[in-house]
Structure 1
Amino acid sequence: MRTWNDYKEHVAAVDPDIAKDIREAEAMSAIVKAMVEQRNAMGLSQRELAARCGIPQSSVARIESFKTMPNLDTLLKIFQQLGLKLTISAA
């Protein structure tokens, strides 16, 4: 195996449960990446975003560092303040 994608394909073929975990982690990573990129593009600090959302700055920091998984309510508050839209589809 030479790349991460090669490894993911191998794991998916061997263990569907781990493959599912990898897909979920990548989906969460894409959500957080969009959040951080938009916050930075808007010139907002974590503290400023948190104040707009009515949540502690530490919550934003934990989400952005993947130390916690936000609940849907918190995620929607953040996305609304950033002008982002969350789209969910069934796989």
Structure 2
Amino acid sequence: MRTWADYKNHVKAVSEEERRNMEEIEEVSDIVSSIIQRRQELGISQRALAERCGIPQSSVARIETLKTTPKLDTLVKLMQALNLKLQVSAVG
């Protein structure tokens, strides 16, 4: 089985496009990890979070397992329900 580090090294060696794809996946993963961590800190179930956001529990599960990428409006709903704030800043 390959590790995440092995995969990152492989992608860096393959192409610029794959490298960008990996960076996008990492960004989404970081955001989703923050959502999961906050939900667990607050002791909120996926079902309760979904109800607060007006979305199906299955959508929360798919987002948390990275099976789907949330649309911006869904992401904002999730973050507001968890008292999180999305901030955008320039890189570099």
Shorter-normalised TM range: 0.7 to 0.9
Q: Which residue of 2 aligns with 1:78?
A: 78
Q: Which residue of 2 aligns with 1:36?
A: 36
- Identify unmatched segments of 5+ residues in structure 2: none
* Counterparts of 1:68 and 1:5, CA distance in 2: 23
Root-mean-square deviation (Å): 1.8
* Counterparts of 1:36 and 1:87, CA distance in 2: 18
Identity fraction in percent: 55
* Counterparts of 2:67 and 2:10, CA distance in 1: 27
* Counterparts of 2:58 and 2:7, CA distance in 1: 34
Q: What TM-score do the two structures reach when normalised by structure 1? A: 0.85
* Counterparts of 1:55 and 1:10, CA distance in 2: 37
Written as runs of structure 1 = structure 2, the 5 A alignment for 1:7-86 is 8-9=8-9, 11-12=11-12, 14-86=14-86
List 4+ stretches of structure 1 deviating above 4 A. Answer: 3-7
- Identify unmatched segments of 5+ residues in structure 1: none
